[in-house]
Amino acid sequence: MVRIDGRRRDEIRKVKITRNFIKHPQGSVLVEFGDTKVICTAMIDDKVPPFLKGTGEGWITSEYGMLPGSTQTRKARDASKGKVDGRTMEIQRLVGRALRSVVDLRAIGERTIWVDCDVIQADGGTRTASITGAFVALVDAVNKMDNAQPFSIYPIRNYVAAISAGIVDDEIMLDLCYDEDSRARVDMNIVMTDNGQFVEVQGTGEKSPFTRDEMMELIALGEKGIREIIDIQKKSLGEDGNKIGTGEEVKI
Ligand code: UDP
């Protein structure tokens, strides 16, 4: 079966990561999954939220947004309605959790890293592209801190990336574009590390529930995609990724 954009069912879109995309943030990336394009930035703030004051631990938090012109019909700005909508809240929390899962928050000290993901063009999979790009922006920001004042323990323990998979027209397929996503009867987002561990799996059979076998197949396909995507992150970071995983395990 050939898909609308000519891919095989187990094939990811062309993934491109452009680092140092904008001037001011310590880390900034343009990440592209086919026609989905997201700008991810990482900026350091020398304070932490009140619940962490005095603990010696840092924090990583994320915000997500879509430009009005990023979608086929204009997406109203969150601010114009006075509050963030549920989907946005869900996505920004997911991105924050994904990044925190691979960082030793004690090693970064009482600082907050703000990671902002702004979708400039949406064609499905914006949350998974956000996680994938945000990780690279985070590494760049952490390395700037490390260069200025080396960490005693390098804070980033693992790579993390994400991909979608779903069941469309009774076929299980990887990395859905919008056309596929809108027809999918099952939709799954998978977040994994480079050592093959899961950070989050969100599977939804809203249009029709799915079986355990289907779930396992979706996860297996996701795992294959994530391995390929982490290779792309590694190529993009080159030597700047060398310290990832070198920090000692911190016993809690
Ligand atoms: N989408 C849209 N307007 C919206 C939300 C989503 O056009 O307000 C499109 C967009 O292409 C997005 C896709 O629907 O990528 C799938 O949305 P979903 O909520 O599943 O999140 P995503 O797959 O982007 O993480």
- Output the tens digit of pLDDT for each of the chain's 252 residues: 779 999 999 999 999 999 999 999 999 999 999 999 999 999 999 999 999 999 999 999 999 999 999 999 999 887 766 788 999 999 999 999 999 999 999 999 999 999 999 999 999 999 999 999 999 999 999 999 999 999 999 999 999 999 999 999 999 999 999 999 999 999 999 999 999 999 999 999 988 999 999 999 999 999 999 999 999 999 999 999 999 999 875 444
What per-residue confidence (pLDDT) applies to 77? 86
Question: Distance (Å, rounded) from C-alpha 65 to C-alpha 79?
Answer: 10
When divided into structural domains, the chain yields a total of 1
Q: Whose CA is nearest to atom 2 of ligand 1?
A: 71
CB 191 within 8 A of CB 162: yes
Using most ligand atoms within 8 A of CB, pick from 178, 180, 187 the residue to mutate for ligand 1: 178
Decide the pairing of beta strands 160-168 and 36-45.
unpaired
What per-residue confidence (pLDDT) applies to 249? 59
Domain that holds residue 88: 15-237
Answer whether 127 contacts ligand 1 (Cβ < 6 A).
yes
Q: Please tell me the distance between residue 239's alpha carbon and the centre of ligand 1 in angstroms.
A: 34
In a domain, 248, yes or no: no
Q: Whose CA is nearest to atom 1 of ligand 1?
A: 71
Rounded to 5 degrees, what are φ and ψ at 220? -60, -40
Write out the two tokens for 212: 């355990």
Using most ligand atoms within 8 A of CB, pick from 119, 177, 181, 182 the residue to mutate for ligand 1: 181
Beta carbons within 8 Å of 68's beta carbon, 6+ residues apart: 74, 75, 76, 77
Distances (CA, A) of 117 to 9, 30, 90, 133: 28, 10, 13, 8
Write out the two tokens for 32: 């592209």
CATH number at residue 65: 3.30.230.70
What per-residue confidence (pLDDT) applies to 207? 87
In a domain, 79, yes or no: yes
In a domain, 245, yes or no: no
Question: Distance (Å, rounded) from C-alpha 55 to C-alpha 110?
Answer: 8
User: CA 84: distance to chain centroid?
Assistant: 19
Question: Distance (Å, rounded) from C-alpha 31 to C-alpha 34?
Answer: 10
Q: Whose CA is nearest to atom 8 of ligand 1?
A: 75
Beta bridge partners of 43: 114
In a domain, 184, yes or no: yes
Using most ligand atoms within 8 A of CB, pick from 4, 93, 126 the residue to mutate for ligand 1: 126
Answer whether 122 contacts ligand 1 (Cβ < 6 A).
yes
Beta bridge partners of 39: 30, 118
Q: Please tell me the distance between residue 34's alpha carbon and the centre of ligand 1 in angstroms.
A: 14
Q: Is the ipTM of this complex over 0.85?
A: yes
Decide the pairing of beta strands 198-204 and 59-66.
unpaired
Q: Please tell me the distance between residue 56's alpha carbon and the centre of ligand 1 in angstroms.
A: 38
Strand 160-168's sheet: what is its strand order?
Answer: 171-174, 160-168, 186-193, 198-204
Using most ligand atoms within 8 A of CB, pick from 37, 67, 71, 119 the residue to mutate for ligand 1: 71
HSE, CB side, 13 Å, CA atoms: give it for residue 50: 0
In a domain, 250, yes or no: no
In a domain, 7, yes or no: no
In a domain, 247, yes or no: no
Beta bridge partners of 164: 189
Helix%, strand%, coil% for the chain, nearest 5:
35, 30, 40
In a domain, 224, yes or no: yes
Answer whether 202 contacts ligand 1 (Cβ < 6 A).
no
Q: Please tell me the distance between residue 3's alpha carbon and the centre of ligand 1 in angstroms.
A: 19
What per-residue confidence (pLDDT) applies to 252? 45
